[in-house]
Amino acid sequence: MSPAPVADNAASPAIVSSPTAGSMMPQGQHHQGPEPFDDVFQREFWRGVAAYRNDPNTGTMTAVNRKAIILHAHGSADRSYFANRVLSDQELKIRALTKVIAMTVADEPWNEDWIRAPDVERKLSRFEMHSETLELAQEHGYSTPREAITAARLALVAASKADPQDGPTKRGPFDEIEVIFIPGTVSSTATNKIKRDAIYPVSVASVAHCLQTHICRDVTTPFNKAEQIINMYDTAELLKMRQWAHNVCDFAPHFLDNDNISLLLVLLIITRSEVVKRFEANGIRIEGSTISHRRSECMKSKLGWKESQDRKPFDNTASDFQTRIKNAVAPPKDGGRTARLKSARKSSSYAPTMGTPMLPAPTTATPPIGYYSATPSRATNWSPNSDSPTMAFPGWSGLPGPSAPPGSSAPPASSAPPGSSAPPGLVLNYQPTWNGHGWTSESPQIQQGRQAQPVPQPQPGPSKQSAPNQHGNRSGNSVKGPKDLE
C-alpha cells in the first residue's frame, strides 16, 4: 500500500531533526577506519532533502518521497561502512538490525494510513467499530476506526504538550469508544466463522498510545539504535521492550501484517508462540505457521532476504535477544545447581591412607576389585583354594580394627594374610587387628566364632591302637567287605 500524502509538518523525526555537530565532518579530519555509519546516513539524508526542496518541479514532500530519501541514505551508509571488508558475527548482526530499523523509519508504521478501511478485501486485516460503542462514536462525528484513532492520537499529543500548571486536560470520549480487530482470512468460509462477540474490544485511546510509543518513531541514527538493542542487558530495558511487544499484540495487531516491517521487531523481542497466545487471549485465532509465513514474506519483499544465509544474522540476533528477555522475566530454575553438584562431588571424595588402594570413590553398592569388606556370610563361605578376586577373605577388612593399647606397636600391614593362597598380584587392604591379648590376622567375626566353639580335649588311652569295636575292627581300620564281617 502507498501511504497518503502528508504535509512537511508531519514529517518523520529523521526529517525534522537538525544535523548534530558530530554529523558534520570538519575539513582536514581523517578517520582511521570507515566513516561512522550514522554520520554518512545523516549527511546523505539531509543532502537528499535539500535536493528535493530545491527542485522547482517537486511539490510538497510526501511519505513516499521521504521513504525514498531514507532508503537512499541507508544504502550509501551501508556501502561506505560495511562493504569491502570481512565482517565479524557481531557486525553482521548490527548490519542486519540496522537495515530493519532504517526500513521501519522509512515506512513510518505509526502513521494512521496503515489502518485500513473496514470494507477492504477479506485477505487483509482491519479494524471495525464495536457495536456497543458505535452510537457514541457517531455522536462525536467518528464513523470509521481510522477517524476515531486519529482524533485520539491528536488528543494524546495535545495532552503531552499541555502545561501542567493549567490542570488536567480533558481526555474526551476516546477511552469509551472501542474497536475490534478482524484478522485477514483466506476464504469466505473462514470469514463467516469469525465470532465478533468473542473478540476482546480495545479503546481507540489504547491504539493511539501504541502508535505514538513505537520504539523506532524517534530514531534518527539507526546504527546506534541497533547497537543499543544488541548490547542491551539491563533488566529494566529488556522488560520495557517486552511490554511494548505485548502492547502491539493487544492494541495494535495490524503491526503484525506481512506488509508491516514492525512484524520483524515484534518477533525480535518475543517468540512466535507467545504472539499466538496473546492473540488467543484476545479472542483472535491465528496459527503459528501463519506468523512464520508473514515473517518470511516480509523479509523477502521489504528487505530482499530471499536466502537463509541472508536471514541468518537477524535470526541469531532474535534468538539471543529472546533468551535474554526470558532470563530477565524468569531466571533459570536450577539456580546454583551446577555449583551444588560440584560441591557434592568434592565432599564425596576421600583421601587414601597407608595400605588403601588408589581407587575412585565408590558410586554403587558393588565394591571395586581389590577392595573388600569383611562380612560374616562371605567370610565363613571362603575357601582357601578359591581364585575368585571378588571373594571376601577372612581377616581382611577395609575397616580399621580396634585401636591398640598405649605403648604397643602394631605390625605393618601386608597385602595378604600369612599362609593364604591369594591370587598373585592381587593388592588387598589387609589390616592386622588387636584382640585384647595380641595382634592377629583374623577378623573379629572369626575370633568371636572361635571363642564360642569349645576346644576339644585329648582322650587318654592305653596305646595308639584302640579297642576293637562290635565287629572286631579297630577304630583305625575300615570295613573292606562282607568277608571281614564274619
Domains of the chain, by residue range, sit at: 8-107, 111-161+169-213, 232-245+253-330
Please tell me what DSSP assigns to residue 300. Answer: I
What is the three-class DSSP state of 57?
A: coil
- SS3 of 153-185: the string is HHHHHHHHHCCHHHCCCCCHHHHCCEEEEECCC
> How far is the C-alpha of 361 from the C-alpha of 39, rounded, in Å?
64
What is the three-class DSSP state of 55?
A: coil
Chain centroid, CA 215 distance in Å: 24
Please tell me the pTM assigned to this model: 0.64
Choose among 294, 311, 29: nearest CA to 183. Answer: 294
> How far is the C-alpha of 394 from the C-alpha of 382, rounded, in Å?
7
Q: Which amino acid is at 394?
A: P
> How far is the C-alpha of 391 from the C-alpha of 381, rounded, in Å?
9
Residue 466's Cβ-count burial label (10 Å; 0-12, 13-18, 19+) is: middle
Q: Residue 486: what pLDDT?
A: 45
Q: Residue 457: what pLDDT?
A: 61
Q: Helix axis angle, 272-281 relative to 288-298, nearest 10°? A: 120
Q: Tell the residue number behind the cell numbers 546504527, with chain if given.
A: 223
Please tell me what DSSP assigns to residue 129. Answer: E
Residues in the chain: 486
Q: Residue 332: what pLDDT?
A: 63
Choose among 113, 133, 122: nearest CA to 179. Answer: 133
Instruction: Render each residue's pLDDT in the chain as its tens digit; 486 residues.
Output: 334 434 444 444 444 444 443 444 444 444 567 899 999 999 999 999 999 999 888 888 999 999 999 999 999 999 999 987 889 999 999 999 999 999 999 999 999 889 988 888 877 889 999 999 999 999 999 999 999 999 999 999 988 888 777 777 777 899 999 999 988 877 777 777 888 888 999 999 999 999 999 999 999 999 999 999 999 999 999 999 999 999 999 999 999 998 899 999 999 999 999 999 999 999 988 888 889 999 999 999 999 999 999 999 999 999 999 999 999 988 766 555 554 555 545 444 444 445 545 555 555 555 556 555 555 444 444 444 545 444 444 444 444 445 555 555 555 544 445 555 555 544 444 456 666 666 665 555 555 666 555 555 666 555 545 445 555 455 444 444 444 444
> How far is the C-alpha of 356 from the C-alpha of 359, rounded, in Å?
8
> How far is the C-alpha of 142 from the C-alpha of 178, rounded, in Å?
11
> How far is the C-alpha of 233 from the C-alpha of 25, rounded, in Å?
32
Which residues, in sequence order, are bridge partners of residue 346? none
> How far is the C-alpha of 125 from the C-alpha of 356, rounded, in Å?
78
Residue 31, CB-side half-sphere exposure with 13 Å CA sphere: 10
Beta strand residue intervals within 332-476, DSSP E: 433-434, 439-440
Q: Which amino acid is at 192?
A: N
Q: Distances from the Cα of 401 to the Cαs of 375, 395, 409, 438, in angstroms? A: 14, 10, 14, 13
**Structural contact between residues 209 and 156, judged by C-beta atoms closer than 8 angstroms:** yes
Choose among 38, 47, 49, 26: nearest CA to 74. Answer: 38
> How far is the C-alpha of 451 from the C-alpha of 446, rounded, in Å?
9
Q: Residue 319: what pLDDT?
A: 95
Q: For the beta carbon of residue 373, count every other beta carbon within 10 angstroms.
A: 13
Q: Residue 24: what pLDDT?
A: 44
Q: Helix axis angle, 222-230 relative to 63-82, nearest 10°? A: 70
Chain centroid, CA 36 distance in Å: 34
Laid out side by side, the sheet with 126-129 consists of 126-129, 178-182, 202-203
Q: Residue 247: what pLDDT?
A: 94
What is the three-class DSSP state of 449?
A: helix
Q: Residue 435: what pLDDT?
A: 62
